[in-house]
Amino acid sequence: MIYIKQRGEHDCGVAALAMAVGADYETIYEACRDRIEDDRGINELLLHEWLYRHGWAWQQIFRVHQLGGVNVVRETWPPAPWAPVHICQVLATRDWHFAAMDETGRVFDPWDSSRISLNDPVYRKVSWVMGLWHVQER
């Protein structure tokens, strides 16, 4: 995975997606430009839409999940990597933030390249991890 630094305060999703899928920042930014509103960046649903339109399959695991109609926090968290590449949503210093992760569990944080693990103390929570597989050209 090639590291891509985010360019603004709200484009961590663009950079994380670009790293995870092996695209350049400009390609992802241009594809999402019309949906990025008020400098808030892309969200989880926009990630899903982009991945679907570009032939990617994903499995998303949440820290809190439903079991018998009850919210349950997973005992083992964050999960070990299970896919060739991943995108993660973490609660960092101020707000929710996206980072990429490779198949070995090394994190590529677009804000700070020194953060290389989901267990970094700056990450107060890991909300979900999404494993990605490129399955077809679209």
pLDDT digits (tens, 9 = 90+) for 57-102: 999 999 999 999 999 999 999 999 999 999 999 999 778 999 999 9
Q: Is 1 part of a structural domain of the chain?
A: no
Q: Is 87 part of a structural domain of the chain?
A: yes
Q: b/e string for 117-126 if b means 16 or more Cβ within 10 A?
A: ebebeebeeb
pLDDT digits (tens, 9 = 90+) for 26-49: 999 988 887 776 667 889 999 999
CA 96 centroid distance within chain: 11
Residue 85, strand partner residues = 102, 132
For residue 138, the model assigns a pLDDT of 60
| Structural domains of the chain, count | 1
Q: Is 5 part of a structural domain of the chain?
A: no
Q: φ, ψ for residue 94 (rounded to 5)?
A: -120, -35
Let me know the angle formed at the C-alpha of 57 by 51 and 60, rounded to the nearest 5 degrees: 95
Q: Is 57 part of a structural domain of the chain?
A: yes
Residue 23's domain comprises: 12-134
pTM of the predicted model over 0.75: yes
For residue 33, the model assigns a pLDDT of 81
Q: Is 125 part of a structural domain of the chain?
A: yes
